[in-house]
Amino acid sequence: MKISLNWLKNYVNFDVSPELLAEKLTNAGLEVESIEYLNKKYENFIIGKILKVDKHPNADKLTICKVDIGNKNINVVCGAPNVSENQFVVVGLPGAIVARNQHDIEAKPFTLKKTSIRGIESDGMICSEYELDLGEDKSGILVLENNGLKPGITLNEYLGLNDVVFEIGITPNRPDCLSHLGIAREISAIFHLKLKKPKLDLKESRELITFATKVFVDDLDKCPRYTARIIKDVEVKPSPKWLQNYLNAVGIRPINNIVDITNFVLMELGHPLHAFDYDKLKDNTIRVRVAKDGEHFITLDGKGRELKEGMLLICDAEKPVAIAGVMGGINSEITENTKNILLESAYFLPQSIRRTSKLLGLSTDASQRFERGADPNITKFAINRAAQLIQQVTNAKVLLGYIDIYPKPIQPKKINLDTDRVNSTLGTNLTYYPIKNLLKKIDIRLIKRNKSKMLFEIPTFRPDIEREIDLIEEIARLYGYDNIEIKMRSLIKFKEQPVYKDIDDEIRNYLVGRGFNEIITNSLMSKELAGLSKDDYVEILNPISRDMSAMRTSLIPSVLNVVRNNIYHQSKNLNLFEIGKVYFKDSSIAKGPNTIAGFREEKRLILAKTGISEYPHWSKQEFPSDIYDLKGEVEDLFVMFSLDKYKFISYTIDRTLTELTLYIMYQNVEFGYIGKVKKEILKLFDIEQNVFVADINLDILKSFVNYNRKYIPLPMYPMVIRDLAFIVDRAIPVEELLQTIKYSAGNLLKSVDLFDIYTGDRISADKKSCAFALQFQSEERTLTDEEVALIIDNIIKVMNDKHNATLRK
């Protein structure tokens, strides 16, 4: 909210720099987000009176003007055709920044210097309205109306711009600060100054209001108070300058004197008022009632509104004339022809106004104040203040008396406060006396005290203070958070649970060591991409855009997005990983300590590799990445977590997003897969190179991780190594050959590894040669050659029986 420094000074007498004021307000919880000096734009511009105009001796079109600028006369060389004696004009003095250069195509600003024009010294420049950015006329200098102007006043003074405006972020709990008086109250508390409320001086006519109108409130829950006044014989016209200046300063566009005064009171006292054209109210009646479904209404902004059951309306004898607390209607608007007005100053139930404003999608200065909580007990003061100003500005006739429907007056709350509680919450040592004085500064008064127990009365403009803890906050705020000393109890209770092991972090560290770059991506995606999953995806009711209208069901599209963007920047060799969640609708999920019914969140790890396999080096050949790169990464990852019983199974049925897919199994649970992203999916991302991914369910992986590692004694007897190469049909998977070797070798075989595969001229075309390295070892003795030879014979025999494998010699 914008707050004007000049305006504030009407209510509290302070003399501190705007910067200091901003700091103090911020420290009191009223965060000053920016300070704007309105006079910056017109520094060094002054109003002058042209005393004499002489021709320039060296130029036909120029004149030399003698200008009175208050404290002295100066000479200004001027080229304008409309210059003449006795004009009041705006003179820019050296140092002034002229907003627009009318001789420059781009109209750039420039700084004035004292110059000599064709041999004659010029002390300044007489400006056009275009140059001053006050209008578009550049045909000549701006001539001001001479209504009591004195030479020497600054342009800022003339335009009412000697002001500083603060942008203050008011938190939703402080409706009392949505006004100049409210901020002034805080300033008076901060600087220990007296708050001066505006003085009322209202002269009522003899005509009684009672005969002029009738007000009925049908819904007293939603409208606990309705106050009205009638003002006759108003003259609707532009507001006086002082009023326009105040409104302009806080960013409100002046409209006419009546509307401007209601806005002024809103910004002064924080209470929204509304003015109706009295003569347009059928039977001069006001009825406050709730809307019926389907009622139609045109608001002041010219928009048609469909009303919903329960919205509070202000009506006349037959039709709605305003949506209560939100916006008035076009049918009772104040216009130039308005003669008589009915002023409304009411208090509406916050929840009701908020609901209406939300349903209509219409938030106004008034609705924002009502929904945060206006002061029910200020309506009379506010309406009288407005009536007084209208009278002052238009000489109108204020009818005698006012209507005030307020059957159940809202009383100030009374709240108990225990000083012990204050200190045990804040860690302070405050006694009752400073507490009482702190609260008194913001009109919270002590009514009773019994030792540490105190009873306070809370003014109704502070709806946020409802409990003891709210008072404690006020005490802390006024005492100053920075004055609360740091006291640590150092009461760390030592734990008994085993140390928390963050497997995610272990995986991250491992993968970074393996050369993968971690990415963090958006978990929102388009429905089309989310829908590629076989499970139900989660849809957003109110998305920002179509691209982000669902929760992701796979990390693959996220990673492909990153791949695309990097390829675009010529980074084509990528090793990426992300640990992130995917989300599904899942009716099998029940409400639990960490779940909500019907939704499943899975934490997954994705690895992605594209481009060349290994970091390029002049000494070696480059190979493109393939699925074995990622298979190896996953195998090593499992070894690190001591998961040695994993299996890879390849099915012919492809996943939606990948082909050549290998499923990762552990104890018969499938918890991930490795594959090559399908061409048609890559196409969606304009990627032309192969991308390989491994996608692993981390929640399941975690459940398998075994931290109870036990030492296995190192072998005491030597190892025997044998290499065997078999020629087999190409179609036989190596995994089957490995299984057969293990099975036929018995438990003296410690390991078997494939170290070469050969296809080519030296063997028949449908065959391949697979070479294995076998390691034998006994824990009890040194193995003899004969023993090993027997095992080898058996392996060869079984391999031959089972796979028709022949030994390659």
Q: In the complex with other proteins, which residue's Cβ is closer, 157 or 626?
A: 626
Task: Map the footprint of other proteins across residues 364-393, applying CB under 8 A.
Answer: 368, 371-372
686 binds other proteins (CB under 8 A): no
726 binds other proteins (CB under 8 A): no
Q: In the complex with other proteins, which residue's Cβ is closer, 399 or 511?
A: 511
* Backbone φ and ψ of 688, nearest 5°: -105, -10
Q: In the complex with other proteins, which residue's Cβ is closer, 65 or 511?
A: 511
518 binds other proteins (CB under 8 A): yes
Task: Map the footprint of other proteins across residues 257-276, applying CB under 8 A.
Answer: none
- Give the residue, chosen from 11, 583, 641, 692, that forms a contact with other proteins under the rule CB under 8 A: 583
Distant-in-sequence, close-in-space partners of 609: CB < 8 Å, separation ≥ 6: 574, 575, 576, 625, 629, 630, 691, 692, 693
541 binds other proteins (CB under 8 A): yes
Identify each DSSP E strand in 7-129 by its residue range.
31-37, 45-55, 63-68, 73-78, 88-92, 97-98, 110-111, 115-117, 120-122, 125-126
Concatenating the DSSP letter of every residue in 224-239 gives: SEEEEEEEES----PP
361 binds other proteins (CB under 8 A): no
- Given a contact cutoff of 8 angstroms between Cβ atoms, the answer to whether 418 and 381 are in contact is no
CB of 168 to other proteins, least distance (A): 13
Measured distance CA(696)–CA(674) in Å, rounded: 9
> Max Cα separation, the chain?
131
Which among 484, 413, 477, 411 has a CA at the least distance from the CA of 439?
A: 477
Which among 437, 391, 459 has a CA at the least distance from the CA of 204?
A: 391
- Give the residue, chosen from 81, 427, 715, 746, that forms a contact with other proteins under the rule CB under 8 A: 427
Q: In the complex with other proteins, which residue's Cβ is closer, 227 or 357?
A: 357
Q: In the complex with other proteins, which residue's Cβ is closer, 334 or 444?
A: 444
Q: In the complex with other proteins, which residue's Cβ is closer, 277 or 695?
A: 695
Q: In the complex with other proteins, which residue's Cβ is closer, 413 or 514?
A: 514
- Given a contact cutoff of 8 angstroms between Cβ atoms, the answer to whether 456 and 439 are in contact is yes
Q: How far is CA 515 from CA 1, 234, 606, 607, in A?
A: 51, 80, 14, 11
Measured distance CA(574)–CA(515) in Å, rounded: 10
- Give the residue, chosen from 516, 638, 641, 685, that forms a contact with other proteins under the rule CB under 8 A: 516
Task: Map the footprint of other proteins across residues 492-511, applying CB under 8 A.
Answer: 492-493, 495, 500, 502, 505, 508, 511
Candidates 78-86, 209-217, 317-325, 519-527: pick the segment binding other proteins (CB under 8 A).
519-527
Measured distance CA(764)–CA(318) in Å, rounded: 101
CB of 448 to other proteins, least distance (A): 22
Task: Map the footprint of other proteins across residues 543-562, applying CB under 8 A.
Answer: 543-544, 548, 551, 562
Which among 401, 412, 404, 463 has a CA at the least distance from the CA of 223?
A: 404
Measured distance CA(324)–CA(319) in Å, rounded: 13
CB of 427 to other proteins, least distance (A): 3
- Given a contact cutoff of 8 angstroms between Cβ atoms, the answer to whether 93 and 45 are in contact is yes
**Residue 503 parent element (H or E):** helix 503-513
Measured distance CA(281)–CA(4) in Å, rounded: 36
CB of 337 to other proteins, least distance (A): 38
What is the b/e burial string over 135-170, where b = at least 16 CB atoms within 10 angstroms of the residue's CB? Answer: eeeeeebbbeeeeeeebeebbbebbbbbbbbbebeb
Concatenating the DSSP letter of every residue in 365-405 gives: HHHHHHHH---GGGHHHHHHHHHHHHHHHH--EEEES-EEE
Q: In the complex with other proteins, which residue's Cβ is closer, 183 or 728?
A: 183
Candidates 444-452, 616-624, 660-668, 796-804: pick the segment binding other proteins (CB under 8 A).
616-624
- Give the residue, chosen from 425, 452, 526, 690, that forms a contact with other proteins under the rule CB under 8 A: 425
Which among 363, 295, 299 has a CA at the least distance from the CA of 331?
A: 299
Binding mask 31-60 for other proteins (x = CB under 8 A): x-xx--------------------------
User: What's the one-letter identity of residue 764?
Assistant: S
Task: Map the footprint of other proteins across residues 157-216, applying CB under 8 A.
Answer: 171-174
- Give the residue, chosen from 523, 533, 689, 778, that forms a contact with other proteins under the rule CB under 8 A: 523
595 binds other proteins (CB under 8 A): yes
CB of 509 to other proteins, least distance (A): 8
Q: In the complex with other proteins, which residue's Cβ is closer, 454 or 538?
A: 538
Q: In the complex with other proteins, which residue's Cβ is closer, 206 or 495?
A: 495
Q: In the complex with other proteins, which residue's Cβ is closer, 147 or 594?
A: 594
CB of 737 to other proteins, least distance (A): 31
- Given a contact cutoff of 8 angstroms between Cβ atoms, the answer to whether 263 and 252 are in contact is yes
Sheet bearing 31-37, strands edge to edge: 2-4, 164-169, 31-37
Q: How many residues touch other proteins (CB under 8 A)? A: 91
26 binds other proteins (CB under 8 A): yes
- Given a contact cutoff of 8 angstroms between Cβ atoms, the answer to whether 332 and 280 are in contact is yes
CB of 26 to other proteins, least distance (A): 6
- Give the residue, chosen from 17, 408, 491, 708, that forms a contact with other proteins under the rule CB under 8 A: 491
Candidates 10-18, 75-83, 471-479, 716-724: pick the segment binding other proteins (CB under 8 A).
471-479
Q: In the complex with other proteins, which residue's Cβ is closer, 521 or 800?
A: 521
Candidates 150-158, 199-207, 491-499, 718-726: pick the segment binding other proteins (CB under 8 A).
491-499
CB of 355 to other proteins, least distance (A): 6
Measured distance CA(196)–CA(311) in Å, rounded: 38
418 binds other proteins (CB under 8 A): no
525 binds other proteins (CB under 8 A): no
Identify each DSSP E strand in 651-765 by its residue range.
658-666, 669-677, 691-697, 720-729, 749-758
Q: In the complex with other proteins, which residue's Cβ is closer, 92 or 611?
A: 611
Task: Map the footprint of other proteins across residues 220-239, applying CB under 8 A.
Answer: none
Q: For residue 271, how far is the Cα from the chain centroid?
A: 28
Q: In the complex with other proteins, which residue's Cβ is closer, 518 or 735?
A: 518
CB of 685 to other proteins, least distance (A): 14
Measured distance CA(59)–CA(119) in Å, rounded: 10
Q: In the complex with other proteins, which residue's Cβ is closer, 486 or 714?
A: 486
762 binds other proteins (CB under 8 A): no
- Give the residue, chosen from 49, 222, 225, 354, that forms a contact with other proteins under the rule CB under 8 A: 354
Q: In the complex with other proteins, which residue's Cβ is closer, 51 or 612?
A: 612
Q: 3-class DSSP state for residue 46?
A: strand
CB of 603 to other proteins, least distance (A): 9
- Give the residue, chosen from 77, 125, 291, 538, that forms a contact with other proteins under the rule CB under 8 A: 538
Would you give the DSSP letter of residue 120? Answer: E
27 binds other proteins (CB under 8 A): yes
Q: 3-class DSSP state for residue 98?
A: strand
Task: Map the footprint of other proteins across residues 636-655, applying CB under 8 A.
Answer: none
- Give the residue, chosen from 245, 575, 697, 769, that forms a contact with other proteins under the rule CB under 8 A: 575
- Give the residue, chosen from 17, 619, 621, 708, that forms a contact with other proteins under the rule CB under 8 A: 619
Measured distance CA(348)–CA(351) in Å, rounded: 9
User: What's the one-letter identity of residue 34?
Assistant: S
Binding mask 119-148 for other proteins (x = CB under 8 A): ------------------------------
Measured distance CA(91)–CA(291) in Å, rounded: 59
- Given a contact cutoff of 8 angstroms between Cβ atoms, the answer to whether 312 and 324 are in contact is yes
